[in-house]
Amino acid sequence: MGLKEVVDVGGGVGAMLNMIISKYPHINGINYDLPHVIADAPHYPGIEHVEGDMFDSIPSGQAIFMKWILHDWNDEQCLKLLKFCYNALPDFGKVIVAEYILPQTPEENAAARNASRFDVLMIIVCLGGKERHEKEFEALTKRAGFASFRVCHQAYIETGEGKRGQSCLHRRHLQFKIMIKFFVAS
């Protein structure tokens, strides 16, 4: 049958979803975000922009995608979001999440150090937000009702040297190496 519909929760103006739909034009996309965000979203072929608040509801879809959403929120808020996802999915639907995943034990590599830095950043910027270990994500998905959880892919991103005025992460001219892992709950 194949994947025919993806809902991007907190998808901003739809840029990430547009990358997916551009590569897989047979997929219909729903970009879901707050009204003031959707107001600035450009038209993309194959994407419907839907206004709403993810803490009130999530549109139904065959697959639900969230990139860098869960790390903004505490465990109870994440559980609420994941339960909304669970209820919005059909049988055999999947939620696909892209997040930094902290190592269980401290590791001496750039990706682990930067995941830890982002954990501190989430604590400072997002009250209750945090990066999580794989086991923490697995426990949240199980509590939300999902039967299975697996880390299915990881992407390694390396930024160039930052310049003054770019973003708070680059003010010290650090080179960031970030390991992003994708997990699927179904």
99 is catalytic: yes
Which of 5, 51, 99, 133 does the annotation list as catalytic?
99
Count of Cβ atoms closer than 10 Å to residue 86 Cβ:
19
CATH architecture of 5-162+169-184: 3-Layer(aba) Sandwich (3.40)
What DSSP character marks residue 170?
A: G
Which of 36, 43, 49, 71 does the annotation list as catalytic?
71
Q: What is the pLDDT of residue 77?
A: 95
Which of 43, 49, 131, 133 does the annotation list as catalytic?
131
Q: Which residues contact 101 (CB under 8 A, 6 or more apart)?
A: 115, 131, 132, 133, 134, 137, 151, 179, 181, 183
Q: Where are any strands of DSSP class E within the chain?
A: 5-9, 28-33, 47-51, 63-67, 94-102, 132-133, 149-158, 177-185
158 is catalytic: no
pLDDT of 103 over the 50 cut:
yes
- Is the pTM higher than 0.85? The answer reads no
26 is catalytic: no
pLDDT tens for each residue of 34-69 = 999 999 999 999 999 999 999 999 999 999 999 889
pLDDT of 170 over the 80 cut:
no
Residue spans of the domains in the chain: they are 5-162+169-184
Q: How confident is the model at residue 112 (pLDDT cuts 50, 70, 90)?
A: low
